[in-house]
Structure formats: structure tokens, C-alpha cells
């Protein structure tokens, strides 16, 4: 006889990307939290307060853990590499045709700064390897990388 898993007694994990200081009850935040019974207003108030030190609108990944009693905790991560690249170059988006149309050029110093900033969240502990990851992301966005 197979045992039934009681999902109601396990923590749930929700991963979202929310602009700093601009969380609202609109999708994706409201529906994602509402289906797990989280107090949406409390989350929004805490998140917006905790991210007020960041540049307004900077996209931040957040991992929310919801306990069976509907309490929650969350971890705010650093912005994704493409967001950091766009911020460094002052552009709105990458190229639609990255191998043909270039939208900017990153210096080696900019690549190193982004790599050092994201190092703890990348799957490497070596800055040189992290720089290769950042450079690859930049190239896939249509951004040239100085050698």
C-alpha cells in the first residue's frame, strides 16, 4: 500500500522577479502568493521596505518560502546578469538579432565588476570563470565584449 504524501504539511517555495520597491498585488505577485494563502499586503509592505535601498524598478529575483501555517520568509537575490549588463550600458533591451545587430560594448572592467557582484550566485568560485559567464550572456544579448 503506497503512502500518500501530505503536501499541506510541507513548505512551498515560490520564485518571482519583482521590481525593487514596486511590488503590487497585480500578477505575478498577487496570484502566486494568494494561491498559497499568504497575506499579500504584508508581503508587499515588507518587500517594498526591504528593497527601498535599491534603484527603483531594478528587477530583483526573490525566493519566498511559505510555511504550512501560511507564514512566510523570503530571500532577495542580486539582479540577473542581463539586467546588470543593461544597467551598465544604459540600454533598455538587448538586440533582437545579437549576431548581426550590436547594442553596445562592455569593457573588461565592467565585465569584472558584474562578475564580482554576481559571483556568490553563479556556479563558480573563480572570478575569471564568472567573467566568461557574463561575457557569454552579453554576447547573447548583442553586446560586444572588449578583450
CATH number of the CATH domain containing 112: 1.10.10.250
d(CA 26, CA 32): 10
Q: What is the chain's mean pLDDT, rounded?
A: 92
Same domain, 90 and 58: no
Q: Assess if residue 59 is contained within a domain.
A: yes
Q: Is the pLDDT of residue 139 over 70?
A: yes
Which pLDDT score is estimated for 63?
Answer: 96
Q: Assess if residue 92 is contained within a domain.
A: yes
Which pLDDT score is estimated for 56?
Answer: 85
Same domain, 60 and 93: no
Q: Assess if residue 2 is contained within a domain.
A: no
- Domain residues for the domain of 40 are 10-76
Q: Is the pLDDT of residue 48 over 80?
A: yes
From 2-16, 39-53, 92-106, 110-124, the region with the lowest mean pLDDT: 2-16
Number of structural domains (the chain) is 2
d(CA 22, CA 47): 9
- Domain containing residue 58: CATH number: 3.30.1550.10
Q: Assess if residue 26 is contained within a domain.
A: yes
- The C-alpha angle with vertex 29 and arms to 25 and 32, in degrees rounded to 5, equals 120
Q: Is the pLDDT of residue 108 over 70?
A: yes
Q: Assess if residue 137 is contained within a domain.
A: yes
Q: Is the pLDDT of residue 125 over 90?
A: yes
Q: Assess if residue 19 is contained within a domain.
A: yes
Q: Which three cell numbers stand for residue 141?
A: 544579448
Same domain, 39 and 69: yes
Q: Which three cell numbers stand for residue 109?
A: 572592467
Q: Is the pLDDT of residue 147 over 90?
A: no
Mean pLDDT (whole number) for 129-137 = 96
Q: Assess if residue 33 is contained within a domain.
A: yes
Which pLDDT score is estimated for 7?
Answer: 55
Which pLDDT score is estimated for 5?
Answer: 54
Amino acid at each position: 500500500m503506497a503512502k500518500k504524501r501530505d503536501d499541506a504539511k510541507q513548505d512551498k517555495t515560490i520564485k518571482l522577479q519583482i521590481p525593487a520597491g514596486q511590488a503590487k498585488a497585480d500578477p505575478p505577485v498577487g496570484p502566486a502568493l494568494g494561491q498559497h494563502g499568504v497575506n499579500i499586503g504584508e508581503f508587499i509592505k515588507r518587500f517594498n521596505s526591504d528593497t527601498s535601498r535599491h534603484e527603483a524598478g531594478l528587477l530583483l529575483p526573490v525566493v519566498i518560502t511559505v510555511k504550512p501555517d501560511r507564514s512566510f520568509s523570503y530571500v532577495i537575490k542580486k539582479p540577473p546578469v542581463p539586467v546588470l549588463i543593461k544597467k551598465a550600458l544604459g540600454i533598455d533591451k538587448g538586440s533582437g538579432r545579437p549576431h548581426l545587430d550590436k547594442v553596445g560594448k562592455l569593457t573588461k572592467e565592467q565585465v569584472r565588476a558584474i562578475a564580482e557582484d554576481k559571483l556568490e550566485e553563479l556556479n563558480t568560485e573563480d572570478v575569471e570563470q564568472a567573467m566568461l559567464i557574463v561575457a557569454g550572456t552579453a554576447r547573447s544579448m548583442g553586446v560586444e565584449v572588449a578583450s
